Amino acid sequence: MLLAFMVTVALLGIGTHLWHGPVALAAPITLAVIFACLLLLTWRHGTLGALLGRRLTRRRADTSVAEPVISHRLRWTTEEVAIRGDEFEALAVVAVDGPSHSPSVLDQHQVQSAVLLPVEVVAHALHQFDVNLAGIDIHSVGRRRAGEAHHHYATTYSGIISDYAAVGARQTWCVLRLRSVDNAGAIATRDSVAATLAACARRLAVELNAHGCPSRLVDAAELAEIDEALTGPLGNDPQAHWSGLVHSAGVVSNYWISPPDITTATLDRLWSPDTDATLTSIQLRSAADGGVAVGALVRYATAGKLKEAPLRGLNPMSGQHDRAVRATVLDPALPELRLPHRVLGDSEVLRAPIGGTGILVGTTATRHPMLVPLGDACPGKQSSVTVAGELALLMQIAMRSAAIGYLVAVVSDQPARWRNASAAGLRVVRDLPDTLPDGGRAMMVVYDLASTPAVHPSAAITVRAVERGTASVADVHLEQDSNSTAVIRTADFRYRLHIDVQAERNLIAAVTRRVA
């Protein structure tokens, strides 16, 4: 406001000295009005002058973070948490894994699941006793399926899921930021800024665990992996355009959600578009009245520019995509971008989806599709699956797992039967090496053998074909009891499903006819 007034006075003064006659008043007034409009009028929370400058210039989005990272061990525990920053501003991350193998049902254009993050619980962590955090951001990254180059079944599988917000793989993190200037008294009674922030992060993790949402502190090694996950395909040098960020693999588009639309249903619906990758970010900040304000944005990575928002109600961050990306980078300083927000109600229930929904395993008795994640919710841990049924059921599990992004290795003594299922993301082999790439973290190994070897390499998911009636102790057991039904069992639930494996039977039959 002050700058606009000073520019107006300066233009009027310069105009009266440079020109004479009617133009001496008209020209400076016109210029003053134009400059005042550019400085004062806003469009989508940005001044017209700033937006015009961003429209006319080309910039490169900065995704780098230079601040150091230390590992802080919590007192009286063996837990270590990564703290990024210095004695003035610091950041810590809590990974929200959620429960493993939790089923989801597709019903009424929503994914009905018990795996939800209580946002109000995270919001309460902004103020912990004598500590006031600068803010908490909830970042989630995931995608529905892999690309066509990974497996040709991916497109078909996406069509089966239709417009539901089913996500094959998804990870969620709560990012806590603390400023020492706001918490001088609290830090004085503790060891350091790192100790203060680490205690806050642990308290949030404990609270989420108490609400049935398994969470843990992030160490230094995982923090580097999260940096890569949040920047995604952007690389180190994305170019900011008016409608998105252009990079070597495509375009990234950012949208903010209108504050009244920030609801549980909307946060679920944001995952409906079938994109290369999706990121959602929920900003939690202290409100003036002592409450908590919430804002949200979503980022879609696609092969080309989006001509319009993929969902109604999304507001494009025109000319501000570089700022939107910077707001999701793990920088200890509070992001410059403040999203449009509203105050959370005292008794408001706001839930955000977390964790992957896994693969479609069948339909319920009421014909609602059911999905179950076969992998463990905690990255780096292994999961075991046993399948007692025909080859078509085993093949369907392998193909759908490849479709959502797993690198599947099928160990079979009859590889010809898998010929039509083979692709870059699903390889059929007779044997495996002692160790798998990256420790098998993104791999599924399927044993289509009469007897599974006693010693085998570690993988994220190990699937074994077993005889029907076998007493399985696997994390997930699927037993076919007729041509169209099967029973799925985990430690927490048991359900009888309708299955459809006719397409896989046809693939196997086609190979058999060719061999004959």
Cβ atoms of 174 and 136 closer than 8 Å:
yes
Confidence of residue 130 (pLDDT cuts 50, 70, 90): confident
> Mind listing the pLDDT tens digit for each residue in 287-340?
988 899 999 999 999 988 888 889 988 999 988 888 999 999 999 999 989 999
Per-residue confidence (pLDDT) for residue 305, from 0 to 100: 87
If one counts every other C-beta atom within 10 angstroms of the C-beta of residue 420, the result is: 18
Cβ atoms of 179 and 451 closer than 8 Å:
no
Cβ atoms of 353 and 116 closer than 8 Å:
yes
The residue type at 236: N
Asked if 41 and 103 sit in the same domain, the reply is: no
> Mind listing the pLDDT tens digit for each residue in 344-377?
988 899 999 999 999 999 999 999 999 999 999 9
Considering only CA atoms, which of 291, 331, 289 is closest in space to residue 127?
291
Per-residue confidence (pLDDT) for residue 183, from 0 to 100: 85
What distance in Å separates the CA atoms of residue 393 and residue 508, rounded to the nearest whole number? Answer: 11
475 SS3 class: coil
Q: What is the CA radius of gyration of the chain?
A: 27
What distance in Å separates the CA atoms of residue 516 and residue 512, rounded to the nearest whole number? Answer: 6
Per-residue confidence (pLDDT) for residue 125, from 0 to 100: 95
The residue type at 454: A
Considering only CA atoms, which of 125, 141, 120 is closest in space to residue 281?
141
**Res. 48: pLDDT tops 90:** no
The residue type at 74: L
Cα 485 versus chain centre, distance:
33
Cβ atoms of 140 and 271 closer than 8 Å:
no
487: left (phi over 0), alpha (psi -120 to 50) or beta: beta
- DSSP secondary structure letters along 92-157: EEEEE---TT--EEEETTEEEES-EEEHHHHHHTTEETTEE-SEEEEEEEEES---TTT-THHHHH
What distance in Å separates the CA atoms of residue 141 and residue 271, rounded to the nearest whole number? Answer: 10
What distance in Å separates the CA atoms of residue 181 and residue 185, rounded to the nearest whole number? Answer: 9
Q: Which residues are registered as beta bridge partners of 139?
A: 173, 281
Asked if 372 and 292 sit in the same domain, the reply is: no
Asked if 393 and 255 sit in the same domain, the reply is: no
End-to-end CA distance of the chain: 83
Cβ atoms of 277 and 325 closer than 8 Å:
no
Asked if 305 and 373 sit in the same domain, the reply is: no
**Res. 514: pLDDT tops 90:** no
Asked if 49 and 134 sit in the same domain, the reply is: no
Asked if 378 and 508 sit in the same domain, the reply is: yes
What distance in Å separates the CA atoms of residue 436 and residue 460, rounded to the nearest whole number? Answer: 10
pLDDT > 90 in the chain, percent: 61
The residue type at 58: R
> Mind listing the pLDDT tens digit for each residue in 212-238?
999 999 999 999 999 999 987 776 677
- DSSP secondary structure letters along 380-419: T--EEEEEES-HHHHHHHHHHHHHTT-EEEEEES-GGGGG
Tally of domains within the chain: 3
Asked if 372 and 321 sit in the same domain, the reply is: no
Asked if 348 and 422 sit in the same domain, the reply is: no
Range of the domain at 151: 69-353
For the stretch 89-118, what's the b/e string if a residue is b when 16 or more beta carbons lie within 10 angstroms of its beta carbon? Answer: bbbbbbbbbbebbbbbbbeeebbebebbbb
What distance in Å separates the CA atoms of residue 52 and residue 43, rounded to the nearest whole number? Answer: 11
Asked if 168 and 279 sit in the same domain, the reply is: yes
Cβ atoms of 60 and 239 closer than 8 Å:
yes
Asked if 477 and 452 sit in the same domain, the reply is: yes
Higher pLDDT, 496 or 437: 496
What average pLDDT is seen over the chain?
87
Per-residue confidence (pLDDT) for residue 157, from 0 to 100: 94
pLDDT, mean of residues 18-29:
59
pLDDT, mean of residues 456-466:
93
CA–CA distance from 485 to each of 359, 390, 498 (Å)? Answer: 17, 12, 4
Asked if 333 and 443 sit in the same domain, the reply is: no
Considering only CA atoms, which of 43, 119, 35 is closest in space to residue 349?
119
Q: Which of 328, 353, 378 is the last residue of a domain?
A: 353
222: left (phi over 0), alpha (psi -120 to 50) or beta: alpha
Asked if 270 and 296 sit in the same domain, the reply is: yes
Q: Which of 353, 375, 404 is the last residue of a domain?
A: 353
> Mind listing the pLDDT tens digit for each residue in 141-195?
999 999 999 999 999 999 999 889 999 999 999 999 999 988 888 888 877 899 9
Cβ atoms of 250 and 258 closer than 8 Å:
no
What distance in Å separates the CA atoms of residue 291 and residue 80, rounded to the nearest whole number? Answer: 31
Per-residue confidence (pLDDT) for residue 14, from 0 to 100: 64
Per-residue confidence (pLDDT) for residue 105, from 0 to 100: 95
Angle between helices 23-40 and 48-56 (to 10 degrees): 90
Instruction: Say how many CA atoms lie within 13 Å of 301 toward its Cβ.
Output: 25
Q: What residues contact residue 194 under an 8 Å CB cut-off, 6+ apart?
A: 70, 72, 83, 90
Query: Model pTM?
Result: 0.88
